[in-house]
Amino acid sequence: MEEKKEQTPAQKLREELFFAPKNGYDRLAAGEGEKIQTYCEGYKTFLDAGKTERECVDYAIVKAQAAGFRPLVRGEKLQPGDKVYRNNRGKSLLLAVIGQEGLDQGAVIGAAHIDSPRLDLKQNPLYEDKELAYCKTHYYGGIKKYQWTTIPLALHGVVVRRDGTAVSVRIGEDPGDPQFTVGDLLPHLAGDQAKKTMGSIVSAEQLNLFMGSRPFDQEAGSDRVKLGILALLQEKYGMVEEDFLSAELMAVPAAKAVDIGLDRSVIGAYGQDDRVCAYACLQAILELTEAPRRTAVCVLADKEEIGSLGVTGMQSAAFDIFMSDLCQAQGVPLKACYESSFCLSADVTAAYDPNFAEVYEVRNSAFFNYGVSISKYTGARGKSGASDASAEVVGYVRRVFADNGVIWQLAELGKTDQGGGGTVACYMANRNIDTIDAGVPVLSMHAPFETVSKLDCYETYKGMKAVFQAEK
């Protein structure tokens, strides 16, 4: 056997000083491969169950109650280990496990969002044109409009009828259900269309959801196809056309979450931005069987894709009220809690795509299978819209991850001048909470079908749990 040569001083120094990230599969501990698969099967179930923020909240509450969480009652005394939650209007959710130390020592917060780009039906959507029935839509969040044509879509949401009763709608997911689609122009007649820029190939007002084509009957007069559609809706949901005015209905991809690649190493599904991090945060807090050192808080927020506005968005006072109620139970000023708190803003980032290498800066990009991606700052160009975590905060996360065997990487969204994006991090930081972004790298972000690495999903969950359980 050939003897191993002793390293030269230069080789030793190189090994000691250079930063050389390794593929996560080369760093996994024994038995973690099976844990990754088990975790990701649960995650795929969550994706299929929750294609809207309301459905995500419903799913999370069922899981939380099974894990011992109860609704927070304002004014009640809270003890270490108590598990409480607050349902914010059915569209966002806040959960907490009370820590051993008082809230004057701060809380550890994981914040993710559960809304995703989609097509919302307009308030007066249903119409007939040349004996075809359609619904007008208004796209939600940043999308490439052409990607939403010619794919199977499902209709989800809620209708509040004139008498105030609410009925849930979910059409296109079960076997035998009808589905919907948005049409596009055939290539034979698309010469003029082909000359347009990508953003104008399909206009917003052409994103009309096909609803049907069968006339009601010969005696029905005009708009017979529309009448037929309304008759079906009335039969199934007890609604009339006016009820669209007080409805929240959205068209989302009908496809189920699936494994991608012959090696099944990747998950493909709609809405993984940011339900992949929301699930990691939720699972991490549900698995806290003992009181952590500091109170752990999980925030599943709405409206991130349109600026975190509204009563269920991260800019809402709902988070502050929840935290204030926790603090009042211990006689702690809210501001004192915030200034000692830490938040992991759990949102996705762009994975390096060699097919579009020109928009990435390879030394500072996130890669599949290199673990949860930390982003010191997000924003655009000159860090516009970034909270820009301090070196101390980055150092803290590095230490916690290293101490718990979490595979991680550090990355930016893309080349500096190329563009950018933001998360809820800046809204947490504005509250005087130390905050940093961390999440899963995604390919085809904001497309109807996004892809993520299973390993990165699992390591994000591990990272979130490590932060919740950190002893110092």
The pLDDT-based confidence of 131 (bands split at 50, 70, 90) is very high
d(CA 105, CA 63): 28
* pLDDT confidence of residue 421: 79
User: What's the average model confidence in pLDDT over 387-414?
Assistant: 93
Average pLDDT over residues 321-336: 97
- Using the predicted structure, report yes or no on whether residue 184 has a pLDDT greater than 80: yes
Q: What is the pLDDT of residue 303?
A: 96
CB-based contact 438:372 (threshold 8 Å): yes
pLDDT in tens, 415-447: 888 877 788 999 999 999 999 999 999 999 999
pLDDT band (50, 70, 90) for residue 5: confident
* CA 280 from centroid of its chain's CA atoms: 10
- How many whole angstroms from its chain centre is CA 274? 2
pLDDT digits (tens, 9 = 90+) for 330-343: 999 999 999 999 99
- Cα dist from 437 to 12, 19, 343, whole Å: 34, 21, 9
Residue 218 confidence (pLDDT): 77
Interval 249-259: pLDDT, tens: 999 999 999 99
Contact indicator for 72, 84 with CB cutoff of 8 Å: yes
Tell me, what's the pLDDT at 379? Answer: 82
Per-residue pLDDT at 1 exceeds 60: no
Cβ distance 434 to 4 under 8 Å? no
pLDDT for residue 2: 59
CA atoms within a 13 Å half-sphere pointing along the CA-CB vector of 396: 18
pLDDT digits (tens, 9 = 90+) for 379-397: 888 888 888 899 999 999 9
- CA 248, CA 166: separation in Å to the nearest integer? 11
- What's the half-sphere exposure (Cβ side, CA atoms, 13 Å) at 227? 10
| Per-residue pLDDT, 395 | 96
pLDDT at 219 over 80: no
For residues 249 and 419, the answer to whether their CB atoms sit within 8 Å is no
- Compute the average pLDDT of residues 173-202: 95
Kindly indicate the confidence band of residue 3, based on its pLDDT and cuts at 50, 70 and 90: low
Per-residue pLDDT reduced to its tens digit, 300-309: 999 999 999 9
Helices and strands (H, E) in the chain, number of each type: 11, 23
pLDDT of residue 166: 96
pLDDT digits 0-9 by tens, 280-319 = 999 999 999 999 999 999 999 999 999 999 999 999 999 9
What phi-psi label fits residue 88: left (phi over 0), alpha (psi between -120 and 50 degrees) or beta? beta
Residue 109 in this model has a pLDDT that exceeds 60: yes
Nearest-angstrom CA–CA distance, 362 and 371: 16
pTM of the complete model? 0.95
CA-to-CA distance for 256 and 278, rounded, in angstroms? 18
Structural domains of the chain, ranges and CATH numbers in brackets: 20-116+270-469 (3.40.630.10), 118-253 (2.30.250.10)
Q: Span 90-113, mean pLDDT? A: 97
